[in-house]
Amino acid sequence: MKKNLIWIVIALMSLCAAIAYMSSPCRTQQSSQTDGSENFVTITDVVPDAILEIRYFGTYNFVGTRIDGYLEPTALLTKEAADSLRAVSDDVKALGYRLKIYDAYRPQRAVDHFVRWAADIKDTLMNHYFYPDLDKSVLFEQEYIMAKSGHTRGSTVDLTLFDMTTEKELDMGGTFDFFGPESHPVFGGNPETGEYIPTEGITAEQFAHRMILRRAMMRHGFRPLTTEWWHFTLDKEPFTDTYFDFPVQQLK
């Protein structure tokens, strides 16, 4: 009887110790130290019709090499942004289009890679394709490259439209990530009214294609950027001051 009582006391002491550990501040802090990826989803899980062409996983980008932090050719967004993007997809599908994604969540280590590249003035491998009219030394000054990016907060996406009839991207009158005024939404017209203003370098049809994408994104809560026709951020983004750094890869 005494022996059984001793074992019961030992078991109770162990249980109390375990409860104390689980409820201690140290334990709570340890369990809350995550990379933040639990707040994200893979875009194609929510928008299965989206086409992915993740430029920073490959070498066809303004740097000319795979960018740090892109471990797999996938695209991630916060759950809120992905849900809104699904609504956009439903809209454009009714018009005969699909969304084509170039980039979405971007880890801070990728932004740091861009900063290092921009500081190396001699590295102009891709200037012919992405910044033929710019001296690389002005990229910081003109804010083409910055130390922080809205993409890193997880609710920004770079995209275009894919025409299901022609099986080609819509002609937007300019390529993704081109550094120049040709990429501005106001180039060739008034994006607020949709009015085309004849301008050398963009046709009325190309400007209209930009407006189809812009209006669909804005209808579902995304705000455009003044310098890039392809760039949109969820207006009610859940993380306004958090810059994540977990890599781009399939979520586990």
Active site residue 228: yes
Convert the pLDDT of each residue in 199-229 to its tens digit: 999 999 999 999 999 999 999 999 999 999 9
Percent pLDDT > 90 in the chain is 87
Are 126 and 64 contacting, i.e. CB atoms less than 8 angstroms apart?
A: yes
Evaluate if residue 172 carries a pLDDT over 70. Answer: yes
Convert the pLDDT of each residue in 3-27 to its tens digit: 344 333 334 433 343 333 334 333 3
Evaluate if residue 29 carries a pLDDT over 50. Answer: no
What's the confidence (pLDDT) of residue 32? 37
What's the confidence (pLDDT) of residue 33? 57
pTM of this structure: 0.87
Evaluate if residue 82 carries a pLDDT over 80. Answer: yes
Model confidence band, residue 28 (pLDDT cutoffs 50, 70, 90): very low
- Look at 162 and 27; give whichever has higher pLDDT: 162
What's the confidence (pLDDT) of residue 11? 40
What's the confidence (pLDDT) of residue 18? 38
Least confident of 9-23, 69-83, 186-200: 9-23
What mean pLDDT, rounded, does the chain reach?
90
Per DSSP, the residues of the chain read: -HHHHHHHHHHHHHHHHHHHHHTSHHHHHHHH---SGGGEEEHHHH-TT-EE--GGGSS-SSSSSPPTTB-SS--EEEHHHHHHHHHHHHHHHTTTEEEEEEE----HHHHHHHHHHHH-TT--TTHHHH-TTS-GGGTTTTTSS-S--GGGGT-EEEEEEEETTTTEE---SS-TT--SGGGSTTTTEETTTTEE--BTTB-HHHHHHHHHHHHHHHHTTEEE-SS-TTEEEETT-S-SS------BS---
Are 160 and 113 contacting, i.e. CB atoms less than 8 angstroms apart?
A: no
Average pLDDT over residues 140-150: 97
Model confidence band, residue 252 (pLDDT cutoffs 50, 70, 90): confident
Average pLDDT over residues 74-88: 98
What's the confidence (pLDDT) of residue 12? 41
Active-site residue identified among 53, 80, 228, 237: 228
